[in-house]
């Protein structure tokens, strides 16, 4: 397992933990091997449920802006696009994994971090969680399945507002919109995670798999249809990365100033 990702299985409950707490678990290409290995192990018969978590005080702050700005400035398009392709792979893997996936969100879930949380089947949030489709603020398009999964969960007007404005949602607001299933106080999060994990681990695996397939099908999707939508999302993000707005947005973020978009 690669260093930025931890994976363990206990009592048939698998936990994938983003492990860059000093960077708020921001996503980098070095996570590729860890994600792929974790998804493969989660598919094994001994696992009944997968938990997605972030180490430290955040779930995931999205892409590592510092790394992205350097890669963009140096024209490292292959590395940038590989990170986007990883996001599509992870989003597809979570949606088609024949087992329940639960995102456990504390602190920020921003940009691709929010996308990752939306890729789970259920979301359990601490009351200190905060959600933001922040891509637009740095001149970028949603990735890691964010636009696809958000459109599955809320109506088009709400999805448009969240993506076009990039405003931060409190846990309670996310609950009201149907983006999370349950909100608990921070000191009750671990107990709630344990209880939900154990309940799912005791459930009928085959039925869970059928339910997940039905939920996709009821929205006019199957595995290939979902992949096509994720690829289309990725193409938009790859184009956005090459526009001047992306360079300005990333620079403004690092310089702590308002961006001046074209």
Instruction: Tell me which residue has tokens 């979301």.
Output: 123
**Predicted structure pTM score:** 0.96
Is 3 a residue whose pLDDT tops 80? Answer: no
Predicted confidence (pLDDT) per residue in 139-187, tens digit? 999 999 999 999 999 999 999 999 999 999 999 999 999 999 999 999 9
pLDDT of residue 220: 85
Q: Could you tell me which residues are beta bridge partners of residue 182? A: 124
DSSP state, residue 106: -
Task: Give the residue-averaged pLDDT of 45-58.
Answer: 97
Q: Which two tokens stand for residue 262?
A: 């074209």
The helix (H) or strand (E) run that includes residue 131 is: strand 130-132
Is 8 a residue whose pLDDT tops 80? Answer: yes
3-state secondary structure of 52: strand
State the burial class of residue 261 (Cβ atoms within 10 Å of its Cβ: 0-12, 13-18, 19+).
Answer: middle
3-state secondary structure of 260: coil
State the burial class of residue 73 (Cβ atoms within 10 Å of its Cβ: 0-12, 13-18, 19+).
Answer: exposed
- The answer to whether 127 and 171 have CB atoms below 8 angstroms apart is yes
Task: Give the residue-averaged pLDDT of 235-259.
Answer: 94
Radius of gyration from C-alpha coordinates of the chain: 17
Q: What span, in angstroms and rounded, lies between the C-alpha atoms of 103 and 124?
A: 6
Instruction: Tell me which residue has tokens 């939920």.
Output: 215
Predicted confidence (pLDDT) per residue in 66-103, tens digit? 999 999 889 999 999 999 999 999 999 999 999 999 99
Q: What span, in angstroms and rounded, lies between the C-alpha atoms of 95 and 215?
A: 10
């Amino acid at each position: 397992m690669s260093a930025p990702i931890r994976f363990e299985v206990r009592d048939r409950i698998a936990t994938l933990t983003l492990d860059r707490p000093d960077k708020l678990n921001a996503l980098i290409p070095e996570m590729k091997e860890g994600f792929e290995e974790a998804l493969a192990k989660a598919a094994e018969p001994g696992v009944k449920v997968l938990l997605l978590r972030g180490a430290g005080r955040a779930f995931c702050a999205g892409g590592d802006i510092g790394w992205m700005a350097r890669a963009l400035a140096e024209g490292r398009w292959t590395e940038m696009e590989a990170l986007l392709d990883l996001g599509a792979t992870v989003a597809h893997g979570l949606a088609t994994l024949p087992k329940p996936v639960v995102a456990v969100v504390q602190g920020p879930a921003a940009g691709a971090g929010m996308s990752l949380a939306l890729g789970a089947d259920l979301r359990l949030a601490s009351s200190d969680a905060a959600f933001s489709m922040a891509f637009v603020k740095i001149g970028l398009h949603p990735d890691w399945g964010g636009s696809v999964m958000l459109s599955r969960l809320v109506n088009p007007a709400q999805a448009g507002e969240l993506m076009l404005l990039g405003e931060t949602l409190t846990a309670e607001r996310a609950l009201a919109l149907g983006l999370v299933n349950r909100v608990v106080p921070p000191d009750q999060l671990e107990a709630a995670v344990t209880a939900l994990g154990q309940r799912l681990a005791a459930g009928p695996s085959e039925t869970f798999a059928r339910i997940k397939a039905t939920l996709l099908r009821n929205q006019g999707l199957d595995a290939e249809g979902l992949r096509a939508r994720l690829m289309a999302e990725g193409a938009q993000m790859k184009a956005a990365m090459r526009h001047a707005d992306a360079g300005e947005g990333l620079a403004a973020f690092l310089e702590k100033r308002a961006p001046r978009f074209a």
